[in-house]
Amino acid sequence: MQKRKLGKSGLEVSAIGLGCMGMSSGFGPPSDRAEMINVIRKAVETGYTFFDTAEVYGAHHNEILVGEALEPFKGQVVIATKFGFKPDGEWNGPWMQLDSSPAHIRTVVETSLKNLRVEAIDLLYQHRVDPNTPIEDTAGAVRNLIKEGKVKHFGLSEASADTIARAHAVQPVTALQSEYSLWFRDLEKEILPLLEKLDIGLVPFAPLGKGFLTGTVTSDTKFVDGDFRNHSPRFAADMRAANQALADLIVDFAQAKGVTPSQIALGWLLHQKPWTVPIPGTRNAARLAENAVGSGVVLSAEELADLRAAVERIPTVGERYPAEFKKMSGR
């Protein structure tokens, strides 16, 4: 697995990271604990050094899982976690209240340190921007935690360009985590130029379109109870049917290239900017190897141009989130 650095921070990670959320929440009931520990440790053997979790994934379940799995690899891996919600249940339960007040951040960090079994959090993201707390106060709180040695790097998630710039002026932002893929490219107009200007890394979540870009999800697919896609407008059966042309395009492109659709989707992202590190999630050890190969997919300038032109001719149908959660993004 190749390595990349997130912006000017010097934080070096594997070119592809592992999103661990689905092991605990979001895609149905939590998976078998021992099996997921094996998957995470297999990821380390495969070359992954970047692992993503959050306090709210399964109400701390995921942090505890990741902490146990990665404890033998202290100093060899980078773990990112997040604050920003005041959880009242599972991720796929009632929508949660936002809270990025300095006092709450400190409480969350103390719990996350215990859950992850570490002395310092490698990368701490604000999960969603809290409109009731000035971003300067939030960034200042993280700056203090960095000075105390409890946090190493500061990140934001799904934040607007203005918020990123204001936060960065208080405490340098190492990385922005936001959705970015061949299926969702809204970041390209304002966010990517700003990240390049400020030398901030980008960590795209849902780089495989939450499974849609793998070619395995169709309008006939049935999601299990507890899978957030049951409530996502973009994953309604009629929306999937309307978007099928994009998935088919990537499948055809991959077949012509002799790779998998997932590898094309990941390879495309890695070719966009050298400071981009996607974090596909999986609960399957076989997918770890498949996704890792995506870090080495080479796309020529002509192939990149052809792929972009093709996907831009296909309009995306459906919102990413229900209204309750959509309003939390892009603040």
Active site residues: 57
Tell me if residue 201 falls in helix, strand or coil. strand
The DSSP line for 212-267 is GGGT---TT--PPTTBGGGG-GGGSHHHHHHHHHHHHHHHHHHHHHTS-HHHHHHH
Question: Is 218:246 a contact under the CB 8 Å cutoff?
Answer: no
User: Taking CA 38 as the corner, what is the angle to CA 34 and CA 39, rounded to the nearest 5 degrees?
Assistant: 115
Any idea how long the chain is? 331
Bridge partners of 50, per DSSP, are 78
Q: How far is CA 315 from CA 107, 310, 312, 319, in A?
A: 43, 10, 7, 12
Q: Counting Cβ atoms within 10 Å, is residue 141 exposed (0-12), middle (13-18) or buried (19+)?
A: buried
User: Taking CA 43 as the corner, what is the angle to CA 185 and CA 150, rounded to the nearest 5 degrees?
Assistant: 80
Cα 313 to the center of its chain, rounded Å: 26
Alpha carbon distance 270, 267 (integer Å): 5
